[in-house]
A and B are shown apart, each in its own frame.
Chain A
Amino acid sequence: MHIPDGLVSGPINAAAFVVSAATCGLAVVRANKTLGERQIPLLGVTAAFIFAAQMLNFPIAGGTSGHFLGALLACVLLGPLNAFLVMALVLAIQCLGFADGGLTALGTNIFNMGIIGGIVSYGLFQILKSVLPKTRGGFLAAVAVAAWFSVVLASAVCALELHFSGTSPLKIALPAMTAVHVLIGLGEAIITTVVISVVLASRPDLVATWSPSQSKPETSQEA
C-alpha cells in the first residue's frame, strides 16, 4: 500500500504531511513523558520486526500479493502514539533507504498506515475489547478483527486519496482497493494474532493494552 510519487496530488500529500508531522510531534512529546524503560528496546524491536515482516509478500488471488502492515500490532504492544512513531520510522526508512513509497507521498503513507491503520483502528480495537469478554480469547478476538479492519480501512482511505487526486474515480478505486485488501487483511489478522499470542504467553507485561485482570479470568470474569 506504499504510494509512489505521482499518484496522489500535491495538496493532498501536503495536507497529509502536515497531519502526520503534527501527530509525530504530539507522539514525541507524549513518549517523552510516558515511554517506560522496557518500552525503549521494545519500540526498536517492534519497528525491526515490522520492517522484516513487510518484506515477506504472500500471494493472494489473481496474481496479486500482500504483505503485513503491523500498525495494529504496534498499537496493541506499545499504545497508539508510540505505535505511530514506529510506523513513521519504518516508512521513512523504507522510503529513503529502499525506494519503497515516494518521498512526496511519505506524509500520505504515514497518514494511511500510521494514523488510519494505526491510531484510528486502535479505536475500534478498544471498542471491541470493551464489549468482548474480558478474557485472553476476547482480547485476541479484538486484536484479530481490528487488524483485519486496519488494512481494509487504510486501503479505502488510499482509494479516497486517489479519487480526490484525479487519479482514479472512487467508484473504480474503492471497490478494487477494498476487495484486494479484504483478503490481505486476513493475513494481517493471522500474523497479528499469532504474534500477540506469543508475547502474551511469554511476556504479558510487555503488552501495553493488556490489563493484568484479564489474565485471571477466573477471578474477574463477572466483574
Chain B
Amino acid sequence: MDKKTWIFISVALLVAVLLAMLISPFASSSPDGLEKVAEDKGFLEKAEEQEPTWKHSPIPDYAVGGIENESLATALAGVIGTVLTFAVGLGLAKLIVRKVNHNKT
C-alpha cells in the first residue's frame, strides 16, 4: 500500500474518531424519525413491551456503563465503536480478499 493512501486513510479515521468523541455528546437526544412516528401514531409501546432478543450489548444506547458523566460515557462509546468498526471492517476486507490469493496459487 502506498504511503499517500495510508495518510489519507489515517486522516479520515482521525476525523471519524474526533466526530465520535467531540460531537456525539452534543447530538440531539430527540427521538429519530421512526421513533417519533411510532410515538405519535401510538405503536411505540408495541416495541417497548417486547423484551429485547439480544441482551448482551456491552455498550447499550451508546453510553459506556459505570461512568457518571454522560458526555464522557457517550464520547467513549463513540471512540470505541468507531475504532472497532474500522478494525473489523479492515479485518473482514483483508480476509475476503486473501481467499483470492489462495485460489490463484
Contact = CB atoms under 8 A, between A and B. Distances in A.
A197 interface: no
Contact of B86 (A2, A47, A158, A168): A47
Interface residues of A, number: 70
Nearest to B98: A32
A155 B54 contact: no
A86 B100 contact: no
B17 interface: yes
Contacts of A31: 93, 96-97
A24 B4 CA distance: 31
A173 B41 contact: yes
In terms of DSSP, what is the predominant structure of the interface of chain A?
helix
B73 interface: no
A93 B24 contact: no
Given A55-B62, A56-B23, A97 B30 contact: no
Contacts of B87: 44
Contacts of A57: 27-30, 32
Given A49-B12, A52-B82, A65 B47 contact: no
Give the interface SS of chain B, mostly helix, strand, loop or mixed: helix
A202 B4 CA distance: 10
A102 B37 CA distance: 17
A45 B96 contact: no
A45 B14 CA distance: 10
B8 A35 contact: no
Contacts of A1: 32-34
B72 interface: no
B14 to A, nearest CB: 10
Interface string A23-41: 0000010011101011111
Nearest to A172: B41
Nearest to B31: A64
Interface of A: 1-7, 28, 31-33, 35, 37-53, 55-59, 62-67, 85-86, 89-90, 93-100, 102-104, 155, 158, 162, 167-168, 172-173, 176-177, 180-181, 184, 202-203, 206
8 contacts: A4-B50, A41-B1, A44-B90, A55-B78, A67-B32, A99-B61, A102-B54, A155-B33
